[in-house]
Amino acid sequence: MAVSLSFIVGLIGNVISILVFASPIKTFCRVVKKKSTENFKGIPYVTTLLSTSLWTFYGLLKPNGLLVVTVNAAGATLQLIYVTLFLIYAPKDKKIKTGKLVAILNVGFLGSVIAMTLLAVREDIKLTFVGLLCAAFTVGMYAAPLSIMGMVIKMKSVEYMPFFLSFFLFLNGGVWSIYAVLVKDFFIGVPNAIGFILGSAQLVIYSMYRNKTPRSMATKEEESSDTLVEERGVEMQRQEYGEDEENNLNNRILKKGHSLPKPFMTRLYSMPKKIVKTLSLNANELESSWAFADDLENAEKNRH
């Protein structure tokens, strides 16, 4: 009875998983139509391609793993199509970055795992080795949309988080968790339970922001530019004000310098000359000389 129930749940899981894998079709129809990937991320499709490829290999190693093989082989085929379209229509920088990621993960890493499992790992632990890797990358597949969730919260728009993808991830995690309990497969159960939780979180975020007015990236860039211009204007005004204040301060210092009495050493240096000159004058000349000196001093003060 348990085997029959697990088979039925597995079939349901196959249907839901294929719907999950097919949910980005609408997204990529838009990409092909606009000939641009816009703000869509390529990482979820790359990681899902790796995950489904590993699960296909796991199903081939696992006894009675037919349901695992069928669903993941179909998923890997669809993900390969998505990744190919993304590489065709992505901007040059994204194209290079995603291409490198595909080469590292989907070619280099996957090929190394298959070769190591078949040639270097003991027969009794092959399933465990591949199962651990599959579980890890399934968690990565479910966690990949976290970056999109962050974008939704930042832009307050669900434009780049398709509802059906989030909904079917939620269902997929729940159904395969039940299947894992029935067949007692730890490697299938743990990552899909995590996927069920993350799918629930995506649905909550979608319900929060689905009626919000989207903020386009162009609007955000325009606001940032306006803010930068305003800050630059304020800085220039401060610089001009600071320069004016500095010039005024220098002028005040110079004016104050003119009004100060002559330095003491200069006056002391001139005193012997005045004394000698005074001794050489008679009474009338002395009186007129001091009067003339007083007039000069008064004129100098009035000038300053």
Q: Residue 301's pLDDT band (boundaries 50, 70, 90)? A: low
- Read off the pLDDT of residues 174-188 as tens digits, 9 standing for 90 and up: 999 999 999 989 999
Q: What is the mean pLDDT of residues 143-151?
A: 74
Q: State mean pLDDT over 166-171.
A: 82
Say which residue, 147 or 188, is predicted with more confidence: 188
| Residue 81: band (very low, low, confident or very high) from pLDDT cuts 50, 70, 90 | very high
- Has residue 77 got a pLDDT over 90? yes
Averaged confidence pLDDT in the chain: 77
pLDDT 10s digits, 221-265:
444 445 544 555 545 555 544 555 555 655 555 554 444 454 444
Convert the chain into a string of H (helix), E (strand) and C (coil). Answer: CHHHHHHHHHHHHHHHHHHHHHCCHHHHHHHHHHCCCCCCCCHHHHHHHHHHHHHHHHHHHCCCCHHHHHHHHHHHHHHHHHHHHHHHHCCHHHHHHHHHHHHHHHHHHHHHHHHHHHHCCCHHHHHHHHHHHHHHHHHHHHHCCHHHHHHHHHHCCCCCCCHHHHHHHHHHHHHHHHHHHHHCCHHHHHHHHHHHHHHHHHHHHHHHHCCCCCCCHHHHHHHHHHHHHHHHHHHHHHHHHHHHHHHHHHHHHHHHHHHCCCCHHHHHHHHHHHHHHHHCCCHHHHHHHHHHHHHHHHHHHHHC
Tokens of 49: 């391609």
**Is 90 exceeded by the pLDDT of residue 101?**
yes
| pLDDT of 111 strictly over 80 | yes
pLDDT digits 0-9 by tens, 18-41: 988 888 898 899 999 999 988 888
> Which region among 11-15, 116-120, 220-224 has the lowest average model confidence (pLDDT)?
220-224
Q: What is the pLDDT of residues 275-293, one digit of tens each?
A: 445 444 554 454 555 455 5
Q: Residue 138's pLDDT is what?
A: 82
pLDDT value at position 86? 94
Rounded to two decimals, the pTM is 0.62
Residue 252 is predicted with a pLDDT of 58
pLDDT digits 0-9 by tens, 156-166:
777 767 777 77
